Structure 1
Amino acid sequence: MTQTPRQSLSYRDAGVDIDAGDQLVENIKPFAKRTMRPEVLSGIGGFGGLVEISKKFKEPVLVSGTDGVGTKLKLAFELNRHDTVGIDLVAMSVNDILVQGAEPLFFLDYFACGKLDVTSATEVIKGIAKGCEDSGCALIGGETAEMPGMYPAGEYDLAGFAVGVVEKSKIITGDSIVAGDVVLGLASNGAHSNGYSLIRKILHLTNADYNAAFEEGRSLADVVMAPTRLYVKPMLKLMETLTVKGMAHITGGGITENVPRVLPDNVVAQIDAKSWQLPKLFQWLQAEGNVAAQEMYRTFNCGVGMVVIVAAEHAEAATALLRAEGETVYTLGSIRARVGDEHQTQVA
């Protein structure tokens, strides 16, 4: 009995296009090149990225952070906007390691999809390169995983990690924070990359028109997709100028859950809710979703993307420097003694 010869199969027949992956790498090389730092010994294309630690550090300590973009990606798919989620990805990690005083050195990303769309993937990774460039962080590599059947058509997932370095004697721990210190807040660009499960629920329940004018000539889509603000360069300059006692990146958990992460057990951050105006996006979300005030503060950044704690005698100078660097700065409140086991961030 004669058997019919089987068809000769290729990886492409199974849904993985190696040529598309190679094309993506070629597309992003010029953008990655712009992010290079003197410490980088090898970049995109190798099996691993090589980075040496600058000789300017006497006792260098590496600081690492990893994150993703979360369900904000669902809006990116729905709106077909892929150019800024890469900035979100970088910001979520570099802002995190910044709060311990670290200067970001390099970043690697992981892009996973069912079928690789080179055009949209290039837009995403251009955004990653932009985020790295704007934070002085080298994009030295990453991974593109094409996995047929793992993701719906047109969708992908993003993750990444950053590594930075800080002088051991200059690590910011928050241990020196005492009653009387001043709490400053740096304005956010919007919702950044947190709370999007609730945001999307409110958008869908209200049948929101993404194309409608919303704020300052921007559509609702523009506002909800605004990328996470990068605080690296202004804050590094501030840390070179005066003593920063503590910082908190306001991400998942909002203001009330992130500020305590940097506070000693015996103090509380007393924040005046009237010290800044709730941006229109958050006013709209609160009204349309009937969200309680305290739920807002523990879910969203509410217009404050980074909290900075300094001694009272440094507050005026810190505010002036950060404003000169382009930041909108609020004096949110102050540090006081903790009473019993009360929550360590009070917003009232």
Structure 2
Amino acid sequence: MSISYKDAGVDKEEGYKAVELMKKSVAATHNSSVLNGLGSFGALYELGQYKNPVMVSGTDGVGTKLDIAFKTGVYNTVGIDCVAMCVNDILCHGAKPLFFLDYMACGKLEADVAASMVSGVAAGCQAAGAALVGGETAEMPGFYKEGDYDIAGFSVGIVEKDEIINGSTVEEGDVLIALQSSGVHSNGFSLVRKLFTDLDEEFDGRKIGEILLEPTKIYVKPVLEVLKEHTVHGMAHITGGGLPENLPRTMREGYEAVVEKSKIKSLPVFDYIREKGVPEDEMYGTFNMGVGFVLVVPASERDGVLAKLESLGETAFEIGYVQRGEKGICLR
């Protein structure tokens, strides 16, 4: 009696097919700094000319939003989410993302599904100006259910040491400028999945499943353009825990953010979630509420930053200010 790897549940030929399907979208993210392609044991990336570079790294996944992708059969948008969750984080320190790697695991590999997910990763990398330099696809029968996938990523960026943004210069009177989110992004889906069991349910002229799969917005290019021309004291990516959890992370000791809820340009999907019975405190403590990213800028920079973001096609608006205090954040 003989037994093969395929008999154990791992189809190597399907893996080879998946790699071939991925190659074109991956190659589209490469630039002159990428010195080799897929297939090497490691990715080679040339830094170029920097005076005193600091590497900034971040890693994250997509979480239970993946379940919405499985149930709707739409797989490419979660790849964008995977990139966004990483690159928006390292952007908070003023870093330009250089490259990205992804990790995908499943119970039974389907080449077309895997390639679709990676095409989303590639699209996210292009939006962030990062090269997709490698990844891993692990077929793990008996560990993951057939049809289930998990995806996570890792990004490395770079910033000159004297240009690092870490909240250390935040001052009283600084202004909080919000960049609007594209929707729920990639947080709060354990609650969302309990509220929306029928993903074909119509809302705002679309299926709710489609609205929930709207990918996390990538803020890298517009924010880096702002940093070229304006002083920014702090930045926050509004992810799990919403504004109360994330905005204090860019406040230095002795200062707190005052957020005026009436100034937030929320989105219809959050009103709909609220109507499902989620209380106000839970809404703000779980979801981004329409704010995907926040810049903390001197009051003198307010108008210039807003004008710059508007010229770049972003929906940006003032939501509050910084004052002395120890609370981290005051929601009013």
Partner of 1:171: 164
SS state at 1:84 partner: helix
Partner of 1:131: 124
* Contact kept in structure 1, 2:21 and 2:112, CA below 8 Å: no
What code does the residue aligned with 2:307 have? A
Partner of 1:224: 212
Partner of 1:285: 273
Q: Are 1:324 and 2:328 matched, yes or no?
A: no
Q: CA RMSD of the aligned region, Å? A: 1.0
Query: 1:139 and 1:116 mapped to 2: Cα distance?
Result: 21
Which of 30, 53, 60 lines up with 1:60 in the alignment? 53
Partner of 1:302: 289
SS state at 1:226 partner: coil
Query: 1:278 and 1:233 mapped to 2: Cα distance?
Result: 23
SS state at 2:154 partner: strand
SS state at 2:314 partner: coil
* Contact kept in structure 1, 2:266 and 2:291, CA below 8 Å: no
Query: 1:253 and 1:127 mapped to 2: Cα distance?
Result: 25
1:155 to partner: Cα distance: 0.5
SS state at 1:13 partner: coil
Query: 1:222 and 1:26 mapped to 2: Cα distance?
Result: 28
Q: Are 1:211 and 2:203 matched, yes or no?
A: no
Which of 188, 192, 197 lines up with 1:199 in the alignment? 192
* Contact kept in structure 1, 2:59 and 2:86, CA below 8 Å: yes
| Structure 1 stretches of 4+ moved >3 Å | none
1:214 to partner: Cα distance: 1.5
What code does the residue aligned with 1:284 have? Y
**Paired residues, number:** 332
Spell out, residue by residue over 1:16-59, the C-alpha distance to the aligned partner (whole angstroms, 9 max, x if none): 1111111111111111111012211122221111112121x100
Percent of counterpart pairs with the same letter? 47
Segments of 5+ residues of structure 2 without an aligned counterpart are: none
What code does the residue aligned with 1:115 have? K
Query: 2:210 and 2:71 mapped to 1: Cα distance?
Result: 13
Partner of 2:227: 239
Which of 11, 20, 27 lines up with 2:21 in the alignment? 27
Which of 86, 91, 97 lines up with 1:98 in the alignment? 91
SS state at 2:196 partner: helix
TM-score (ref. length: structure 1):
0.93
Segments of 5+ residues of structure 1 without an aligned counterpart are: 1-5
Spell out, residue by residue over 1:134-192, the C-alpha distance to the aligned partner (whole angstroms, 9 max, x if none): 11000000000011111111111011100000000000011100110000000001010
Spell out, residue by residue over 1:34-87, the C-alpha distance to the aligned partner (whole angstroms, 9 max, x if none): 1012211122221111112121x1001000000000000011111111010000
What code does the residue aligned with 1:214 have? F
Which of 35, 40, 43 lines up with 2:34 in the alignment? 40
What code does the residue aligned with 1:256 have? P
Query: 1:181 and 1:263 mapped to 2: Cα distance?
Result: 11
Query: 2:152 and 2:146 mapped to 1: Cα distance?
Result: 19
Q: Which of 1 and 2 has greater Rg?
A: 1
Query: 2:101 and 2:128 mapped to 1: Cα distance?
Result: 14
What code does the residue aligned with 2:112 have? T
Spell out, residue by residue over 1:64-113, the C-alpha distance to the aligned partner (whole angstroms, 9 max, x if none): 00000000001111111101000000000000000000000000000100
1:218 to partner: Cα distance: 2.6
Query: 1:125 and 1:278 mapped to 2: Cα distance?
Result: 31
Q: Are 1:117 and 2:105 matched, yes or no?
A: no
TM-score (ref. length: structure 2):
0.98
